[in-house]
Amino acid sequence: MLTVRGLKGGYGGKLIVDGVDLDVAAGEIVTVIGQNGAGKSTILKSIFNMAPVRQGEVALDGKDIFSVSPYQMLTVGLAYIPQHHSVFPKLTIAENLRMGGYLLNDAALLQKRVTKVEGMFPILAQRRSEYAASLSGGEQRMLEVARTLIMDPKVIMLDEPSIGLAPKMVDLVFSTARRLAEAGKAILMVEQNVKAALLASDRGYVLELGQVRITDDAKALIADERVSRLYMGIRN
The third-level CATH classification (topology) of the domain covering 2-85+153-231 is: Rossmann fold (3.40.50)
Per the DSSP assignment, residues forming a β-bridge with 18 are 8
Across 13-34, average pLDDT: 95
pLDDT number for residue 177:
93
pLDDT at 233 (0 to 100)? 55
User: In DSSP terms, which residues pair with 53 in a beta bridge?
Assistant: 10
State what percent of residues in the chain have pLDDT above 90: 74
Average pLDDT of the segment spanning 46-56: 95
* pLDDT for position 236: 47
Mean residue pLDDT across the chain:
92
pTM: 0.91
**Of 195, 206, 190, the residue nearest 228 (C-alpha):** 195
Residue-level pLDDT at 232 = 65
Kindly state the average pLDDT of the residues 4-28.
Answer: 95
Question: Phi/psi of residue 211, each to 5°?
Answer: -130, 150
Q: What residue segments make up the domains of the chain, in order of their start? A: 2-85+153-231
CA distances for 213 relative to 34, 44, 45, 123, 200, angstroms: 10, 17, 20, 41, 21
Examine the pLDDT at 198 and tell me if it is beyond 50: yes
Could you tell me the CA-to-CA distances from 112 to 135, 151, 177 in Å, in that order? 24, 11, 22
Of 35 and 185, the one with more pLDDT = 185
Burial category of 37 from C-beta neighbours within 10 Å (exposed 0-12, middle 13-18, buried 19 and up): exposed
Residue-level pLDDT at 164: 82
Compute the distance between CA of residue 210 and CA of residue 42 in angstroms, rounded to an integer: 9
pLDDT at 167 over 60: yes
pLDDT digits (tens, 9 = 90+) for 97-108: 999 998 888 999
Pairing of strands 53-60, 63-64: antiparallel
DSSP track, 133-183: GGS-HHHHHHHHHHHHHTT--SEEEEESTTTT--HHHHHHHHHHHHHHHHT
Displacement of CA 113 from its chain's centroid (Å): 20
Which carries the bigger pLDDT value, residue 141 or residue 23?
A: 23
Mean pLDDT confidence for 30-59: 94
- The better pLDDT of the pair 40, 236 is held by 40
Task: Taking residues 26-41, report their average pLDDT.
Answer: 93
* Residues 169-191 pLDDT 10s: 888 889 999 999 999 999 999 99
| Residue closest to 227 by CA, chosen among 34, 39, 41 | 34
* Pairing relationship of beta strands 53-60 and 211-217 according to DSSP bridges: unpaired
Task: Report, as an integer, the average pLDDT of 194-211.
Answer: 93
Output the pLDDT for position 38. 87
Confidence of residue 86 (pLDDT cuts 50, 70, 90): confident
Residue type, 10: G
